Amino acid sequence: MSGDNLPANVALNDAEYREKLRSLFSFYGDELQELIELATVESNGVRPKNIENEIYSAFHHIYRSIFRNDLKASCKDIEDAQNSHLLRVQYDAYKIALNASLNRIDKILYDYEFLLIDSDFRAIMPNAVDKFQLIQTARKEIKEAYLNAKQCERTGNRQDAVANYNLAVEKIPELSKIMDDIENDKCFKVAIISIKKKEEREKAQLKITKKWTYISLIAAVTSILTLIFNVWSNSESNKMNKNIDTLPTIEKVIP
């Protein structure tokens, strides 16, 4: 690489520029493509908008780098595309995939906690406790690696951030299979339906209980206010009668 203000397209003839370009596309293919697909799956098959925007910005840098007359600026464009926009794609894709998995894990654990209280459920699914503990342990490990990755990201330690994100994401496929097996289990489905119906009945009963509590409270307050008014009214009436009794007698004088 040498000099500035070179003719357009000369960047493609420069060995250092081509190496930077090769490194960028290698990074995209080796580290991002599968991760972006995972984030898209976790977003119901729709590629997240923030990822699309960062990819667009990265390829705009690439386009601009090819047609610049400044070779140094062209190389800087490639560096910015990879170390800024595509790095952001990587971090965002990790977070989308991990957040979705953690939400799913929390839901499974929430349902399981209710089911494990029932001895009948434990009887028909004897390995339920083991699976519950396995998911709990995996969640703790994912959460720990996730938090470490975010801390490294904040301090600019890219290598350790990516390593910890990878550590967390690598646990997702095996754990997802376990959760799939649980959710597809007929006994689990029936138990969950029973729980939902029970919760609905309890909510309806609670609503009725609150309604009658409010009615009773209003009736009690009304009774108290009525009693206070009656006591006050009687007191005022007694005062008035007493005042009338103490008035001086006026005798009519007949001439």
The string of pLDDT tens digits covering residues 70-107 is 899 999 999 999 999 999 999 999 999 999 999 999 98
Neighbour count for residue 32 (Cβ, 10 Å)? 19
pLDDT reading at 29 higher than 70 = yes
Contacts of 182 (CB under 8 A, 6+ apart): 108, 112, 131, 188
All structural domains of the chain with their residue ranges:
10-184, 196-236
* Residue scoring higher pLDDT (43 or 112): 43
d(CA 189, CA 181): 11
When pLDDT is averaged across residues 48-75 and rounded to a whole number, the result is 92
pLDDT tens string 168-218: 999 888 888 888 888 787 777 676 666 666 666 666 567 666 766 877 788
pLDDT band of residue 254 (cuts 50, 70, 90) is very low
Burial level of 82, CB count in 10 A (0-12/13-18/19+)? buried
State both tokens at 200. Answer: 């609905």
* Residue scoring higher pLDDT (5 or 57): 57
Report CA dihedral (145, 147, 151, 157) to the nearest 10 degrees.
20
